[in-house]
Amino acid sequence: MINSPYQIYQQSSVQTANGEKLIIMLYEGAIRFTKLGIEAIHKHNYEAANTNFLKAQAVVNELIASLNYDYEISQNLLGIYEYMLHCLIKANVSKTASIAEEVAEHLQELLAAWKQILSGNTGRQQTAADMV
């Protein structure tokens, strides 16, 4: 149930985002939840770590669901996303922050690449959006 105006705004933002903006939002969410999980491990708050890693896994699953397999790069991204899921699960089970830190780094690199693709190819944004 949505209670606060901020939650209503967030839901509206997601529902009205175009494909490109949605991908950026997914990456940002996965990064945020992964970092919160890492922070929770450092604080020995394993319940919060579990909650945030599960949220990060859900976001990565959304990234997988968004792939368009008409493009060769989608197979490569699938492999990366599956690896990150495996790492998030392993980090969560073992409560090992370093494993999740690797995932956060990969997510940040992919986010930067998507931002560069989408901002640098204004004439080809449709093609970039179609890949996902």
Question: In the chain, what are the domain boundaries?
Answer: 23-130
Select 23-130's CATH number: 1.10.150.120, 3.40.605.10, 1.20.1090.10, 1.20.120.340.
Answer: 1.20.120.340
How far, CA to CA in Å, does 41 sit from each of 57, 76, 93?
16, 30, 11
Alpha helix (H) residue ranges in the chain: 5-16, 19-42, 46-65, 72-94, 97-120, 125-130
Whole-model pTM? 0.79
pLDDT in tens, 63-81: 999 999 999 999 999 999 9
pLDDT in tens, 95-127: 999 999 999 999 999 999 999 988 876 554 444
